[in-house]
Amino acid sequence: MDEKAGLDDTASGWSDVRRRTSDPAAAPLRMPSFYLALCLGLFTGTNSQLLEIFGLSTGDAGTVDRQPFHDLASQSAGLINYLQTIQKNPNNDLNKRLKEGTGGLPRVNFIEGLPVLPGVVGSLPGAGSCLPRGSPLVKDKSPSFFQNILRNIPGAQDYLASLLPSPKVNVKSLYGKFQWALDTPSVHNRFCSMTEFLPQAEAGNSSAFSIQEKFRSNSESGGEKVAFGYGIIHKERTYVYMQDDPCPYQIVTVGPINDETNQYEYVILSNWARFPIIGLVRDLRTFYAKYKDQLEDQLDKDGFNNEITGNSNIHYADWSKCRPATPINYIQNVLADLFG
Protein backbone atom coordinates (compact mmCIF):
# COMPACT_ATOMS: atom_id res chain seq x y z
CA MET A 1 0.00 0.00 0.00
CA ASP A 2 1.31 3.47 -0.93
CA GLU A 3 1.33 5.40 2.32
CA LYS A 4 1.30 8.75 0.53
CA ALA A 5 -1.26 7.84 -2.07
CA GLY A 6 -4.33 9.99 -2.14
CA LEU A 7 -3.01 12.82 0.00
CA ASP A 8 -4.61 15.30 -2.35
CA ASP A 9 -6.70 18.40 -1.90
CA THR A 10 -9.85 16.30 -1.53
CA ALA A 11 -8.58 14.52 1.56
CA SER A 12 -7.23 17.72 3.06
CA GLY A 13 -10.46 19.56 2.38
CA TRP A 14 -12.54 16.73 3.83
CA SER A 15 -10.55 16.73 7.04
CA ASP A 16 -10.65 20.51 7.64
CA VAL A 17 -8.10 20.25 10.38
CA ARG A 18 -6.35 23.59 10.11
CA ARG A 19 -8.74 25.72 12.11
CA ARG A 20 -8.13 27.57 15.34
CA THR A 21 -10.21 26.63 18.35
CA SER A 22 -11.97 29.36 20.28
CA ASP A 23 -11.36 29.95 23.95
CA PRO A 24 -13.33 27.28 25.86
CA ALA A 25 -13.99 29.71 28.67
CA ALA A 26 -16.08 31.79 26.29
CA ALA A 27 -17.97 28.82 24.92
CA PRO A 28 -21.46 28.12 26.27
CA LEU A 29 -21.86 25.23 28.70
CA ARG A 30 -22.71 22.11 26.73
CA MET A 31 -23.77 18.66 27.74
CA PRO A 32 -21.03 16.21 26.64
CA SER A 33 -22.18 14.42 23.53
CA PHE A 34 -21.12 11.08 24.99
CA TYR A 35 -23.50 11.50 27.94
CA LEU A 36 -26.26 12.39 25.50
CA ALA A 37 -25.53 9.14 23.67
CA LEU A 38 -25.66 7.21 26.95
CA CYS A 39 -29.06 8.69 27.78
CA LEU A 40 -30.25 7.76 24.33
CA GLY A 41 -29.01 4.22 24.89
CA LEU A 42 -31.02 3.91 28.08
CA PHE A 43 -34.22 4.67 26.18
CA THR A 44 -33.46 2.58 23.13
CA GLY A 45 -32.57 -0.69 24.92
CA THR A 46 -32.73 -3.45 22.36
CA ASN A 47 -32.89 -1.07 19.39
CA SER A 48 -29.09 -0.80 19.13
CA GLN A 49 -29.12 -2.37 15.67
CA LEU A 50 -31.49 0.36 14.50
CA LEU A 51 -29.11 3.01 15.85
CA GLU A 52 -26.26 1.43 13.88
CA ILE A 53 -28.32 1.50 10.68
CA PHE A 54 -28.96 5.22 11.03
CA GLY A 55 -25.32 6.01 11.72
CA LEU A 56 -24.97 6.09 15.53
CA SER A 57 -22.26 3.72 16.72
CA THR A 58 -23.07 1.46 19.67
CA GLY A 59 -19.45 0.45 20.21
CA ASP A 60 -19.14 -2.53 17.85
CA ALA A 61 -19.05 -0.67 14.54
CA GLY A 62 -15.63 -0.59 12.95
CA THR A 63 -14.17 -3.24 15.25
CA VAL A 64 -12.81 -6.72 14.55
CA ASP A 65 -14.61 -9.79 15.91
CA ARG A 66 -11.92 -11.13 18.22
CA GLN A 67 -11.45 -14.59 19.75
CA PRO A 68 -10.10 -14.87 23.34
CA PHE A 69 -7.50 -17.53 22.56
CA HIS A 70 -6.25 -15.56 19.58
CA ASP A 71 -5.89 -12.53 21.84
CA LEU A 72 -3.93 -14.53 24.41
CA ALA A 73 -1.55 -15.90 21.79
CA SER A 74 -1.04 -12.63 19.94
CA GLN A 75 -0.68 -10.35 22.96
CA SER A 76 1.28 -12.47 25.46
CA ALA A 77 4.63 -12.42 23.68
CA GLY A 78 4.53 -8.67 23.21
CA LEU A 79 3.48 -8.05 26.81
CA ILE A 80 6.25 -10.26 28.23
CA ASN A 81 8.81 -8.50 26.06
CA TYR A 82 7.48 -5.12 27.16
CA LEU A 83 7.62 -6.03 30.89
CA GLN A 84 11.21 -7.16 30.46
CA THR A 85 12.00 -3.87 28.76
CA ILE A 86 10.61 -1.66 31.53
CA GLN A 87 12.34 -3.71 34.24
CA LYS A 88 15.68 -2.83 32.61
CA ASN A 89 14.86 0.81 33.21
CA PRO A 90 16.01 1.69 36.78
CA ASN A 91 13.31 4.33 37.06
CA ASN A 92 10.63 1.67 36.64
CA ASP A 93 12.15 -1.05 38.82
CA LEU A 94 9.26 -2.50 40.84
CA ASN A 95 11.32 -3.68 43.84
CA LYS A 96 13.06 -0.33 44.11
CA ARG A 97 9.80 1.60 44.00
CA LEU A 98 8.17 -0.64 46.60
CA LYS A 99 11.14 -0.31 49.00
CA GLU A 100 11.32 3.46 48.60
CA GLY A 101 7.56 3.87 48.82
CA THR A 102 7.56 6.07 45.73
CA GLY A 103 5.61 3.85 43.38
CA GLY A 104 4.12 1.04 45.37
CA LEU A 105 0.51 -0.04 45.28
CA PRO A 106 -1.65 2.54 47.07
CA ARG A 107 -3.42 1.67 50.28
CA VAL A 108 -7.03 0.75 49.63
CA ASN A 109 -9.88 2.26 51.63
CA PHE A 110 -13.56 1.42 51.26
CA ILE A 111 -16.56 3.73 51.25
CA GLU A 112 -19.88 1.87 51.28
CA GLY A 113 -18.11 -1.22 49.99
CA LEU A 114 -16.49 0.55 47.02
CA PRO A 115 -12.68 0.68 46.84
CA VAL A 116 -11.30 4.20 46.92
CA LEU A 117 -7.62 4.98 46.43
CA PRO A 118 -6.85 8.37 48.03
CA GLY A 119 -5.69 10.93 45.51
CA VAL A 120 -5.89 8.50 42.61
CA VAL A 121 -8.33 9.45 39.85
CA GLY A 122 -7.83 6.05 38.24
CA SER A 123 -9.75 4.31 41.02
CA LEU A 124 -13.03 5.71 39.72
CA PRO A 125 -14.84 4.06 36.76
CA GLY A 126 -14.98 6.54 33.94
CA ALA A 127 -12.21 8.67 35.45
CA GLY A 128 -9.18 6.52 34.77
CA SER A 129 -10.53 3.05 35.47
CA CYS A 130 -12.43 0.74 33.11
CA LEU A 131 -16.17 1.30 32.74
CA PRO A 132 -18.36 -1.38 34.37
CA ARG A 133 -19.61 -4.21 32.20
CA GLY A 134 -22.97 -3.56 30.62
CA SER A 135 -22.47 0.17 30.15
CA PRO A 136 -24.90 1.28 27.42
CA LEU A 137 -23.57 2.03 23.94
CA VAL A 138 -20.05 0.92 24.95
CA LYS A 139 -18.34 -2.26 23.85
CA ASP A 140 -18.35 -4.71 26.75
CA LYS A 141 -14.82 -6.06 26.39
CA SER A 142 -11.54 -4.32 25.78
CA PRO A 143 -9.40 -5.54 22.87
CA SER A 144 -6.63 -5.84 25.46
CA PHE A 145 -7.03 -9.35 26.89
CA PHE A 146 -4.99 -8.39 29.97
CA GLN A 147 -7.00 -5.29 30.75
CA ASN A 148 -10.12 -7.45 30.93
CA ILE A 149 -8.42 -9.72 33.46
CA LEU A 150 -7.24 -6.88 35.70
CA ARG A 151 -10.07 -4.40 35.31
CA ASN A 152 -11.81 -5.44 38.58
CA ILE A 153 -8.68 -5.45 40.77
CA PRO A 154 -8.54 -2.14 42.69
CA GLY A 155 -5.39 -0.17 41.97
CA ALA A 156 -3.88 -2.64 39.49
CA GLN A 157 -4.66 -0.69 36.35
CA ASP A 158 -3.70 2.60 37.92
CA TYR A 159 -0.30 1.26 38.93
CA LEU A 160 0.40 -0.27 35.52
CA ALA A 161 -0.77 2.91 33.81
CA SER A 162 1.81 4.82 35.88
CA LEU A 163 4.54 3.01 33.92
CA LEU A 164 3.36 4.57 30.66
CA PRO A 165 5.01 7.63 29.15
CA SER A 166 2.86 10.54 30.36
CA PRO A 167 3.66 13.74 28.50
CA LYS A 168 2.20 16.92 29.90
CA VAL A 169 -0.72 17.73 27.60
CA ASN A 170 -1.75 21.27 26.78
CA VAL A 171 -5.50 20.76 26.46
CA LYS A 172 -5.95 23.86 24.28
CA SER A 173 -3.44 22.45 21.77
CA LEU A 174 -5.36 19.18 21.76
CA TYR A 175 -8.68 20.65 20.65
CA GLY A 176 -9.76 20.29 17.04
CA LYS A 177 -9.86 17.58 14.37
CA PHE A 178 -7.42 14.75 13.71
CA GLN A 179 -7.21 12.10 11.02
CA TRP A 180 -6.35 8.50 11.93
CA ALA A 181 -2.99 7.82 10.29
CA LEU A 182 -2.00 4.59 12.05
CA ASP A 183 -3.83 1.93 14.00
CA THR A 184 -3.66 -1.68 15.21
CA PRO A 185 -5.23 -3.68 12.34
CA SER A 186 -6.32 -6.66 14.46
CA VAL A 187 -8.54 -4.36 16.56
CA HIS A 188 -10.19 -1.80 14.31
CA ASN A 189 -11.78 -2.19 10.91
CA ARG A 190 -12.29 1.50 10.22
CA PHE A 191 -11.84 3.61 7.12
CA CYS A 192 -11.53 7.38 6.71
CA SER A 193 -11.65 7.76 10.47
CA MET A 194 -11.51 11.15 12.16
CA THR A 195 -11.56 12.24 15.80
CA GLU A 196 -12.40 15.69 17.10
CA PHE A 197 -11.63 16.90 20.64
CA LEU A 198 -14.11 19.49 21.92
CA PRO A 199 -13.72 21.72 25.01
CA GLN A 200 -15.98 21.18 28.01
CA ALA A 201 -14.51 22.41 31.31
CA GLU A 202 -11.25 23.44 32.93
CA ALA A 203 -10.56 23.82 36.66
CA GLY A 204 -7.10 24.15 38.15
CA ASN A 205 -4.90 21.28 37.01
CA SER A 206 -7.84 19.27 35.67
CA SER A 207 -9.72 19.48 32.38
CA ALA A 208 -12.54 17.63 30.68
CA PHE A 209 -13.28 17.37 26.98
CA SER A 210 -15.70 15.49 24.75
CA ILE A 211 -14.94 13.50 21.62
CA GLN A 212 -16.79 13.03 18.36
CA GLU A 213 -15.66 10.43 15.85
CA LYS A 214 -16.65 9.84 12.23
CA PHE A 215 -15.61 6.80 10.25
CA ARG A 216 -16.74 4.35 7.56
CA SER A 217 -17.27 0.71 8.38
CA ASN A 218 -16.43 -2.22 6.06
CA SER A 219 -14.90 -0.06 3.31
CA GLU A 220 -14.17 3.51 2.22
CA SER A 221 -17.61 3.65 0.61
CA GLY A 222 -19.41 2.06 3.58
CA GLY A 223 -21.94 3.77 5.78
CA GLU A 224 -20.58 6.63 7.85
CA LYS A 225 -20.83 6.14 11.60
CA VAL A 226 -20.74 8.71 14.36
CA ALA A 227 -19.28 7.72 17.72
CA PHE A 228 -18.78 9.62 20.95
CA GLY A 229 -16.41 9.72 23.87
CA TYR A 230 -14.89 11.93 26.51
CA GLY A 231 -11.58 12.62 28.18
CA ILE A 232 -10.13 13.77 31.48
CA ILE A 233 -6.80 15.41 32.20
CA HIS A 234 -5.76 15.25 35.85
CA LYS A 235 -2.32 16.66 36.63
CA GLU A 236 -0.15 14.92 34.01
CA ARG A 237 -2.42 11.95 33.25
CA THR A 238 -4.73 12.07 30.24
CA TYR A 239 -7.51 9.47 30.02
CA VAL A 240 -9.50 9.11 26.79
CA TYR A 241 -12.66 7.00 26.55
CA MET A 242 -14.07 5.77 23.24
CA GLN A 243 -17.16 3.64 22.64
CA ASP A 244 -15.20 0.73 21.19
CA ASP A 245 -13.26 0.11 24.42
CA PRO A 246 -14.58 0.22 28.00
CA CYS A 247 -11.04 0.83 29.28
CA PRO A 248 -9.33 4.18 28.88
CA TYR A 249 -6.62 5.09 26.46
CA GLN A 250 -3.89 7.47 27.52
CA ILE A 251 -2.03 10.02 25.46
CA VAL A 252 1.48 8.58 25.45
CA THR A 253 3.17 10.77 22.84
CA VAL A 254 2.50 14.28 21.56
CA GLY A 255 4.05 15.88 18.52
CA PRO A 256 5.30 19.44 18.23
CA ILE A 257 2.87 22.35 18.43
CA ASN A 258 2.28 24.16 15.14
CA ASP A 259 3.34 27.81 15.40
CA GLU A 260 0.41 29.07 13.33
CA THR A 261 -2.47 27.04 14.74
CA ASN A 262 -1.06 26.40 18.23
CA GLN A 263 -2.23 22.77 17.90
CA TYR A 264 -0.39 19.47 18.23
CA GLU A 265 0.75 18.05 14.90
CA TYR A 266 0.01 14.51 16.13
CA VAL A 267 -0.81 12.50 19.26
CA ILE A 268 -0.50 8.77 20.02
CA LEU A 269 -3.06 6.91 22.15
CA SER A 270 -2.50 3.58 23.86
CA ASN A 271 -2.80 1.92 27.29
CA TRP A 272 -0.60 0.20 29.86
CA ALA A 273 -0.63 -3.04 27.81
CA ARG A 274 0.63 -1.11 24.73
CA PHE A 275 -2.30 -2.59 22.79
CA PRO A 276 -3.88 -1.22 20.69
CA ILE A 277 -2.11 1.88 19.32
CA ILE A 278 -3.88 4.77 17.59
CA GLY A 279 -2.05 7.59 15.81
CA LEU A 280 -3.92 10.85 15.19
CA VAL A 281 -2.46 13.53 12.92
CA ARG A 282 -3.58 17.00 11.90
CA ASP A 283 -2.39 16.86 8.31
CA LEU A 284 -1.30 13.73 6.42
CA ARG A 285 1.13 15.48 4.07
CA THR A 286 2.91 17.18 6.94
CA PHE A 287 3.03 13.96 8.95
CA TYR A 288 4.62 11.87 6.21
CA ALA A 289 7.03 14.64 5.19
CA LYS A 290 8.27 15.61 8.66
CA TYR A 291 7.27 13.26 11.46
CA LYS A 292 6.73 9.64 10.38
CA ASP A 293 10.32 8.46 10.90
CA GLN A 294 10.64 10.43 14.13
CA LEU A 295 7.44 8.87 15.47
CA GLU A 296 8.51 5.32 14.61
CA ASP A 297 11.77 5.86 16.50
CA GLN A 298 9.81 7.11 19.51
CA LEU A 299 7.51 4.07 19.44
CA ASP A 300 10.57 1.78 19.43
CA LYS A 301 12.12 3.70 22.32
CA ASP A 302 8.95 3.54 24.43
CA GLY A 303 8.44 -0.20 23.90
CA PHE A 304 5.40 -0.10 21.62
CA ASN A 305 7.41 -2.02 19.03
CA ASN A 306 9.69 -4.80 20.18
CA GLU A 307 11.87 -7.65 18.94
CA ILE A 308 8.98 -10.13 18.96
CA THR A 309 6.15 -8.18 17.37
CA GLY A 310 8.24 -5.75 15.34
CA ASN A 311 5.97 -3.16 13.74
CA SER A 312 3.35 -5.74 12.70
CA ASN A 313 0.90 -4.20 15.17
CA ILE A 314 0.88 -0.94 13.19
CA HIS A 315 -1.15 -0.31 10.06
CA TYR A 316 -0.96 2.97 8.14
CA ALA A 317 -4.33 4.14 6.89
CA ASP A 318 -4.88 4.64 3.16
CA TRP A 319 -6.89 7.80 2.53
CA SER A 320 -6.65 7.62 -1.27
CA LYS A 321 -10.27 6.45 -1.68
CA CYS A 322 -11.82 8.67 0.99
CA ARG A 323 -14.36 11.12 -0.37
CA PRO A 324 -16.77 13.49 1.40
CA ALA A 325 -20.05 11.90 2.45
CA THR A 326 -23.17 13.19 0.72
CA PRO A 327 -26.90 12.93 1.54
CA ILE A 328 -27.27 10.48 -1.35
CA ASN A 329 -24.54 8.26 0.10
CA TYR A 330 -26.28 8.33 3.47
CA ILE A 331 -29.66 7.30 2.03
CA GLN A 332 -28.06 4.53 -0.03
CA ASN A 333 -26.28 3.13 3.00
CA VAL A 334 -29.42 3.19 5.16
CA LEU A 335 -31.42 1.40 2.46
CA ALA A 336 -28.62 -1.14 2.03
CA ASP A 337 -28.57 -1.87 5.76
CA LEU A 338 -32.35 -2.16 5.93
CA PHE A 339 -33.01 -4.21 2.82
CA GLY A 340 -29.63 -5.67 1.83
Which tens digit of pLDDT belongs to each residue from 85-94? 666 655 555 5
pLDDT recorded at residue 15: 43
In a domain, 117, yes or no: no
What is the pLDDT, as a whole number, of residue 109?
Answer: 43
For residue 106, being part of any structural domain is answered with: no
Whole-structure pTM value = 0.77
The answer to the question of residue 233 being in a domain is yes
In a domain, 112, yes or no: no
Contacts of 157 (CB under 8 A, 6+ apart): 122, 128, 129, 130, 147, 150, 151, 247, 272
Per-residue pLDDT at 27: 42
**Residue 2 falls within a domain, yes or no?**
no
Q: Which residues contact 21 (CB under 8 A, 6 or more apart)?
A: 172, 175, 176, 199, 263
Total number of domains constituting the chain: 1
At residue 229, the pLDDT reads 96
What pLDDT does residue 21 have? 40
Confirm whether 120 is domain-assigned.
no
97-117 burial string, b = 16+ CB within 10 Å, else e?
beeeeebeebeeeeeeeeeeb
The CATH number given to whatever domain includes residue 193 is: 2.40.128.20
User: What is the C-alpha to C-alpha distance for residues 276 and 75, in angstroms, rounded to an integer?
Assistant: 10
The residue segments making up the domain with residue 93 are 9-101+125-339
Cα separation, 96 vs 99, whole angstroms: 5
Tens digit of each residue's pLDDT (9 = 90 or more) over 56-65 = 888 888 898 8
Residue type at position 51: L
Q: What is the DSSP string of 277-293?
A: -EEEES-HHHIIIIIHH
pLDDT, one tens digit per residue, over 153-183 is: 777 777 778 778 889 999 999 999 999 999 9
Distance (Å, rounded) from C-alpha 205 to C-alpha 25? 15
Q: What are phi and psi of 257, to 5 degrees?
A: -90, 130
pLDDT of residue 5: 45
Task: Please give the torsion angle defined by the CA atoms of residues 132, 134, 138 and 144, in that order, rounded to the nearest 10 degrees.
Answer: 60
Cis peptide before 256 (omega within 30 of 0): no
Give pLDDT, residue 88. Answer: 62
Looking at every residue in the chain, the average pLDDT score rounds to: 76
Give pLDDT tens digits along the chain (340 positions).
444 444 444 444 444 444 444 444 444 434 455 454 445 444 444 456 677 777 888 888 889 887 766 677 677 766 766 666 666 655 555 555 545 544 444 444 443 344 445 456 667 788 888 898 888 889 999 998 888 888 877 777 777 787 788 899 999 999 999 999 999 888 998 999 999 999 999 887 789 999 999 999 888 888 889 999 999 998 778 999 999 999 999 999 999 999 999 999 999 999 988 889 999 999 999 999 999 999 988 888 887 875 555 556 788 999 998 988 777 776 777 777 767 6
Domain assignment present for residue 110? The answer is no
Distance CA 52, CA 148 (A): 25
Is 118 a domain residue? no
